[in-house]
Amino acid sequence: MPDLDDLTKAKIVALILDKKTEEALDYLSKFYKVDTPQIVVGTIKKKRRTVYAVYVVQEKKIYALNSEIFYNPFVILHEYYHHIRSKFGTHRGSEKHANMYAQQFIDSYMSVVEKLNQNKTRL
């Protein structure tokens, strides 16, 4: 699976934090050459109150527990990983990998923000 550079990952996180989640998912989907999953507020049977979000492969949808989750980069990127994994083959048994995928984006964002803050201090 191809990888994004740190600055692009940071921009994806910033888009989600700026409440532009759909735009972030569109960008990622173009990069991976897959359909963009729909993201909706809602729950599915058997998952109510047990998870913040869930990706349903058959529907190509990310269900978020509430609108706050829409803007949580870790949760959204975790579920997006399930979407791309389902397109590239294996979907099952990938929770650890979904966490690692999301954390890479968060780490890139934190690194870029830290560098920007250091540059401001020098000015």
What pLDDT was estimated at residue 116? Answer: 87
Tens of pLDDT along the chain (123 residues) come to 678 999 999 999 999 999 999 999 999 999 999 999 999 988 776 655 567 899 998 999 999 988 899 999 999 999 999 999 888 776 555 889 999 999 999 999 999 999 888 877 665
**Complete domains list, the chain, with CATH:** 6-114 (3.30.2010)
Nearest to 71 by CA among 21, 11, 23: 21
Could you tell me if 29 and 50 are in contact, meaning their C-beta atoms sit under 8 angstroms apart?
A: no
What pLDDT was estimated at residue 98? Answer: 93
Token look-up 């048994």 returns 93
What pLDDT was estimated at residue 59? Answer: 92
What pLDDT was estimated at residue 60? Answer: 93
DSSP assignment letter at 66: S
Q: Which residues contact 23 (CB under 8 A, 6 or more apart)?
A: 15
What pLDDT was estimated at residue 93? Answer: 57
Half-sphere CA count of 93, side-chain side, radius 13 A: 2
